[in-house]
Chains A and B, each alone.
Chain A
Amino acid sequence: MAEQAAIASPRDVDIDRTLAEGRRIHAVSSAVRYAVLAAVGFIMLYPLIWLIGASFKTNAEIFSNPGFIPLNPTLDGYIRGWQTSTPYTFATFFWNTFLIILPKTIGTAISCTAVAYGFARFDFPGKRILFASLIATLLLPNVVTRIPQYLLFRDMGWLDTFLPLWVPSALAGDAFFVFMLVQFLRAIPRDMEEAARVDGANTWQTLLFIVVPMLAPALISVCLFQFMWTMNDFLGPLIYLSSVDKYPVSLALKLSIDTTEAFQWNSILAMSVLALVPSLTVFFLAQKYFIEGISTGGLKG
């Protein structure tokens, strides 16, 4: 025993030393890694942090104090920004945004699911050409269709209503979402749908009771994308809405820059912070599904 211990111990020491060395290298390398990641993360987040900090500063301090911690924190920007220089408060604009987003998102979800189901599961004459043209519209720059679309909606008498913002999406006008759902559906085996058909479900029942629940992760990401893109959409409302009482948040932010002679930067920044809140909240609440939807939905390729 004693001999064995004597023989074994130098080796043990060696092993211990190697292990300790390994641990040290590992610790150093992860420290470096985290430091780099933290630095890059900070750089990327800096404008956002500065925005939040500056929204609590006074107008004068924004330009005098480059740091992001306000010297004399004030809610002035929020109060005055909320009231705006128009007869309406930001509550109206938030409500308008909501009125645009809700029908648009619901319409997108329903129409894109139906269209994607058709493309992914049925054979009909001209399917290849139709799907190809759908994908082709993805490659078309938005700008190209702006003017014809404007003229069309003008002739229909839809200017200064929410209709031009709702209707294209409710008719599966967002080819990207259709494509995303088609890709997702292709990855789902058909057996469940066939089982449902043998169980007596018709096409719509199969779609509703079987396909939609299985599509849920992809559908959630579609809704999230549509929510965020609509929230941030500036050009659409700018072109089609002319009455201030119909403005969404994105236009209202610009409004406060236009109409005030001396820019109230702190109110603009404060309202920008508020405008970020819904998107961020929704994103963090649905993060799990969002990532699931993207990673399985063919966006990755």
Chain B
Amino acid sequence: MARLQIRNLEKVYGNAFKAVHGISLDVNDGEFMVLVGPSGCAKSTTLRMIAGLETITGGEIRIGERVVNNLAPGQRGVSMVFQNYALYPHMKVRNNLAFSLKLKRRPKPEIEDATRAVAGILEIGELLERLPKQLSGGQAQRVAVGRALIKKPDIFLFDEPLSNLDAKLRASMRVRITDLHKRLKQDGLSSTVVYVTHDQTEAMTMGDRICVMKDGRIMQVADPVTLYNRPENTFVAGFIGSPEMNLVDGSLARNGSLRINIAGQTLAFGEDLASRLTARDGEAVTVGIRPQHFSIAGRGEDNALEGRVSHLEFMGHEVYLHVEVGGARLVVVVPSDRYDPADIADERIRLKPREEAVHVFDRETGTNVSLSATTGNASKLGG
């Protein structure tokens, strides 16, 4: 039972390189928090500081009520699953699992019971007498999770645990870990998780909340739906969602009705967008529209972007259209059943964005300036 509080956490390396710039983050008891970001964004460093494997050069980490800044990793009540499993190569699976309990000098029957219980949960009962080199990747990962589980820690730390597995196994391990988390929560055991990944799919599917990081700073912390529908800046907008959100330079004009110039073409927008927009007139902005939020406009309809289809990818359930509009290149995703080749005449296509899903960002700061007030509106939209 523990919440994790991080306050103004900093990491400065010996060569004066500042990896973490004073981040603050609260992870509630029982919450599955995912740290996600591109490589080099210091998400692993942050995790390792929580674990105690990396010294803290500024700020404070609290687990439960204790400040753990200067505690050894073993005394922090955390367990960690490493990317390459880090099983002890000379110990059988049984001893790998039991190592932490042996160090604590728990009585033998207790260790035996705990080992059997964990082996049961993770279905590794028949692997107990094997050495790590005799395990497949998925099995090794399960043992690594078991080793974390057996300690009954306050907080579980996962450092990209699935990135060494193939795609199929990754999907099944994803489900297994979230199931495990639910199960621990139901059993009333401590189940606070901090999970590091660079894979936004993993983050979106597993996290109760997601913390998006970039260059040692937190970009946004929110649940997956909010993150998808209300990205606070261009980085989050571009990072979350697949294919990426289209980000195009534009400019605003508000004489009477709202008009936005996107890649040389002007679109008129209604009250929905105008009311949530906090940007000033004439300001340089970046317009963000997800590929899924375009619809193909008929020939008669005005107020649409006209472009040239340069490339078409058929994905089965969807069709990806790569469209050149002015100088910009947009990706548009159309469900296969609504895709009609007749909509494209001489490679020309007309696109209409769904107004309620259009995001406008300040071009200079990258901040989303179309989020104001009406919180409920945008989050109604599904992926």
Residues of A whose CB lies within 8 Å of any CB of B are 189, 191-192, 194-202, 205, 209-210, 213-214, 216
- Determine the chain A residues whose CB is within 8 A of the CB of B80 once the complex forms: 194-195, 198
Given contacts A195-B86, A209-B99, 17 further A-B contacts (CB under 8 A): A189-B84, A191-B84, A192-B86, A192-B88, A194-B86, A196-B99, A198-B51, A199-B99, A199-B103, A200-B100, A200-B104, A200-B151, A202-B72, A205-B103, A213-B89, A213-B91, A214-B89
Contact B74 A195 (CB under 8 A): no
Show 23 A/B contacts (Cβ-Cβ < 8 Å), sorted by A: A191-B83, A192-B86, A192-B89, A194-B53, A194-B80, A194-B82, A195-B80, A195-B82, A196-B99, A198-B73, A199-B79, A199-B103, A200-B73, A200-B100, A200-B104, A202-B72, A202-B74, A205-B103, A209-B99, A213-B88, A213-B90, A214-B89, A214-B90
A213 to chain B, nearest CB (A): 4
Interface of B is mostly: loop
- Determine the distance from Cα of A210 to Cα of B84 in the docked complex, in whole angstroms: 16
Please report which residues of chain B, range 31-52, place their CB below 8 angstroms from some CB of chain A when the two chains form the complex. 51-52
- Complex contact B78–A198 (CB within 8 A): yes
B-side residues, CB < 8 A to A, are 51-53, 72-75, 78-80, 82-84, 86-91, 99-100, 103-104, 147, 151
Question: Across the A-B interface, how many residue pairs have beta carbons closer than 8 Å?
Answer: 67
Supposing A191-B82, A205-B103 touch, asked if A198 and B53 sit within 8 A by C-beta, the answer is yes
**Once bound together, how far apart are the Cα atoms of A201 and B79, in whole Å?**
12
Question: Chain B residues near A202 (CB, 8 Å)?
Answer: 72, 74
B103 and A197 within 8 A (CB): no
Measured CB to CB, the nearest residue on chain B to A193 is B86
Is A199's CB under 8 angstroms from B100's CB? yes
Q: Cβ of A200: which chain B residues have Cβ within 8 Å of it?
A: 73-75, 100, 103-104, 151
Tell me which residues across on chain B come within 8 A of A216, comparing CB atoms.
90
Alpha-carbon distance A277/B316, docked complex (angstroms): 74
A167 to chain B, nearest CB (A): 32
Are the CB atoms of B88 and A197 closer together than 8 Å?
no
Residues in B with CB closer than 8 Å to A213 are: 88-91
Contact B82 A201 (CB under 8 A): no
C-alpha gap A213/B83 in the complex (Å): 22
Which A residues are in CB contact (< 8 Å) with B151? 199-200
Q: Please measure, in the bound complex, the distance between the C-alpha atom of A205 and the C-alpha atom of B83, giving whole angstroms.
A: 23
| A196 touches which of B84, B88, B104 (Cβ 8 Å) | B88
Nearest CB of chain B from residue A126's CB, rounded to whole Å = 14
- State the Cβ distance, A55 to closest chain B Cβ, in Å: 43
Contact of A199 among B53, B74, B84, B89 (CB under 8 A): B74
Interchain nearest-CB distance for A276 vs B (Å): 34
Task: Please name the residue on chain A nearest to B54 by beta carbon.
Answer: A194
Q: Nearest-CB distance from B128 to chain A (Å)?
A: 18
Of A192, A197, A210, which is within 8 A of B72 by CB?
A: A197
A202 to B87, CA, bound (A): 17
Contact A197 B86 (CB under 8 A): no
What is the minimal beta-carbon distance from A208 to any residue of chain B, in angstroms?
Answer: 11
Q: Which 7 A-B residue pairings sit nearest by Cβ, starting from the closest?
A: A200-B74, A191-B86, A199-B100, A213-B90, A195-B86, A197-B73, A198-B73
Q: What is the minimal beta-carbon distance from B97 to any residue of chain A, in angstroms? A: 10
Residue of A192, A198, A214 touching B74 (CB-CB under 8 A): A198
CA A214 – CA B75 in complex, angstroms? 25
Contacts of B99 in A (CB 8 A): 196, 199, 201, 209
A216 to B51, alpha carbons, bound, how many Å? Answer: 29
Min distance, Cβ B95 to any Cβ of chain A, angstroms: 10
Cα–Cα distance between A210 and B88 once the two chains are bound (Å): 7
What's the least CB distance linking B84 to chain A, in Å?
A: 6
Most buried by B among A198, A200, A216: A198
| Least CB separation from B104: chain A residue | A200
Residues of A within 8 A of B88 (CB): 192, 195-196, 209-210, 213
